[in-house]
Amino acid sequence: ATPAATMVGTSIGARNGVLFKGGDVLERVRDVDAVVFDKTGTLTRGEMTLTDVVALDEQRKADGTSIDESFVLRMAAGAERGSEHPLATAIVDGATDRDLSMAEPSDFENVPGHGIRATVSGHEVLVGNRALLESEDVDVDSSIEPLESLESDGKTAMLVAVDDRVVGVIGVADEIEPSAERTVAALSDRGHDVWMITGDNERTARAVAQSIGIKASNVVAGVLPADKASAIEEIQDEGRDAMMVGDGVNDAPALAAASVGAAIGSGTDVAIEAGDVTLVRDDPYDVVKTIRISEATLAKIR
């Protein structure tokens, strides 16, 4: 872009909460033909709420008493006190709201992209996805039905194991951003291919994608934090210029790998630093504005 176009684009952007970093970003934004959204905190609010606690009733504690919902939640919340993940916060807050007492965890271990492991009141507790429990040879059969039913509702479902037995399933919901559907429609109308990428599981991801108009074949789910960048590279290897839109520390490598990285919302400093554009407001529709601003300024001023 000419210096004049860059100046105009940059200042129109700034007035609309779109901060472009440097002059050639406008051109790269114009050339984008695929937009990849992170799910959590970008297409959803990122404010998670505990909605479901299911006790798997065929399981029994060692003393013969049955396992109830408050036991499942107390064990899970005790273990999650060691984590700062938004899912952990939702579980601990949910237990607090229900007036449950939680023990401090010991031997806490975070398993990135899978969950956590901790000792709570002398019990070995696992909270996380199916892969986490399976890696510890826990039989998950009895949990599959409630797990899949929560996921089909677009909730993130986590399994809880105590002393190597699955005892319950916990569901956490995150509200979809009100403008997400409008954003996907506007981008699709402009001929952009819209994708969603997430560490969350396939079923939850597809339920969310379907509700906002992203097609199932454009959902990349179960991606480990370290693999988000390679997922972007794969999309770009098919000849596309991708804009990655994300908010988290997890997203920084993907923001850097994309032709245009857009850090959204208050986000994290790491994401903002890795991005080419910062969307100051926490509104996915500002992606549409970003594209419009670059197209308009580059078309008018040569």
Catalytic, 38? Answer yes
* Binding partner of 87, given ligand ADP, Mg ion, none, CB within 5-8 angstroms per partner class: ligand ADP
| Binding of residue 199 to ligand ADP (CB under 6 A) | yes
- Choosing from 24, 38, 141, 193, the catalytic residue is 38
| Binding of residue 128 to ligand ADP (CB under 6 A) | yes
Binding part of the chain for ligand ADP, among 50-58, 110-118, 180-188, 206-214 by CB under 6 A, reads 110-118
Q: What are 138's two structure tokens?
A: 């826990």
| Binding of residue 232 to ligand ADP (CB under 6 A) | no
| Binding of residue 156 to ligand ADP (CB under 6 A) | yes
Q: How many whole angstroms separate alpha carbon 93 and alpha carbon 37?
A: 28
Three-state SS at 184: helix
CB of 284 to Mg ion, least distance (A): 13
| Binding of residue 105 to ligand ADP (CB under 6 A) | no
Q: Give the torsion sign (CA, 24, 193, 36, 293).
A: positive
Contact assessment for residue 138 and residue 124, using Cβ atoms and an 8 Å cutoff: no
Q: How many whole angstroms separate alpha carbon 112 and alpha carbon 24?
A: 35
Residue position matching structure tokens 């297409």: 43
| Binding of residue 40 to Mg ion (CB under 5 A) | yes
CB of 175 to ligand ADP, least distance (A): 15
Strand order of the β-sheet with 193-197 is: 18-20, 277-279, 260-264, 242-246, 34-38, 193-197, 219-220
* Binding partner of 128, given ligand ADP, Mg ion, none, CB within 5-8 angstroms per partner class: ligand ADP
**Contact string (CB under 6 A) for ligand ADP, positions 249-288, x = contact:** -x--------------------------------------
How many CB atoms sit inside 10 A of residue 122's CB? 8
Binding part of the chain for ligand ADP, among 107-115, 174-182, 232-240, 276-284 by CB under 6 A, reads 107-115
**How far, rounded to the nearest angstrom, does the alpha carbon of residue 265 sit from its chain's CA centroid?**
14
Q: Give the torsion sign (CA, 57, 60, 66, 70).
A: negative
Q: Report the interface residues with ligand ADP, using CB under 6 A.
A: 39-40, 80, 83, 85, 87-88, 113-116, 127-129, 156, 158, 198-200, 225, 250
Q: Report the interface residues with Mg ion, using CB under 5 A.
A: 38, 40-41, 248
